[in-house]
Chain A
Amino acid sequence: MKIAGSFLLLLIAVSGFMVVRTRDVTSQTLALSFYGLLLAVMFFFFQAPDVALSQIVVGAVALPLIIMLAIARMKHKEKSKGSEGGQ
């Protein structure tokens, strides 16, 4: 049990570092989603089902959704400004 818990924590440490090191924003959102799912597994290991449920729904679904919507809105503005400026 101790080995499993320590391995999970090590995986989280590595995954957190990879989220920060990803420079492209869209890939970083997907890395954040995976990191959130890994955190939810850790919360289950720590016997916290409420928090794990919260983390799955928010950290793996709603948070990357909001970030993707913001990126899409900025890209949409860029495209519409580009088309207006070109004409």
Chain B
Amino acid sequence: MLAFHLIPYAVAAWLFLCGLYGIVTSGHLVHTVISLVVLQTSTYVLLLAVGFRWGAVAPVFADISPGVVTVDPVVQALMLTDVVVEATVVALLLAMVVKVHEKAGTLSPDDLRMMRG
């Protein structure tokens, strides 16, 4: 009845569209940046869902022998660095937002478009 094998992919698409909706209808630049973060987390859900196996264990062999069935470690290696780098990229975006606030005095994207010259 419920398509269990499609649920994480549907959730990933839903999160992507949520983040995009937040960017499109944002009234505050910091809100835009946080919606970008939500957009990025949709890729985490998708990547982990691709590499998952029911009944398997984590790919850490400190206490189990290397013959046991595990989930896919390559996908996790791709995501590990991404999570930390995302925080610094958000810091860079927020530095630009702080500069915009200094120069223009307002943080609403609609007002910013009308100030030219």
A residues within 8 Å of B by Cβ?
1-2, 5-6, 9-10, 12-13, 16-17, 19-20, 23, 25, 28-29, 32, 35, 39, 42-43, 46-51, 54-55, 58-59, 62-63, 66-67, 70-71, 73-74, 77
Contact = CB atoms under 8 A, between A and B. Distances in A.
Among A47, A63, A77, the one with the most B-chain Cβ atoms within 10 Å of its Cβ is A47
Nearest to A70: B94
B65 to A, nearest CB: 17
A58 to B, nearest CB: 5
Interface residues of B, number: 51
A11 to B, nearest CB: 10
A2 B4 contact: yes
Nearest to B79: A51
A73 to B, nearest CB: 6
Interface of B: 2, 4, 7-8, 11, 14-15, 18-19, 21-22, 27-28, 30-31, 33-35, 37-38, 41-42, 44-45, 48-49, 52, 54, 56-60, 70-71, 76, 79-80, 83-84, 86-87, 90-91, 94-95, 97-98, 101-102, 107
Given A23-B28, A77-B102, A47 B80 contact: no
Contacts of B97: 70, 74
A47 B86 contact: no
Nearest to A36: B41
12 contacts: A5-B7, A6-B4, A9-B11, A16-B41, A19-B34, A25-B34, A32-B38, A49-B58, A51-B48, A54-B83, A58-B86, A63-B87
Given A6-B4, A13-B11, A77-B102, A67 B38 contact: no
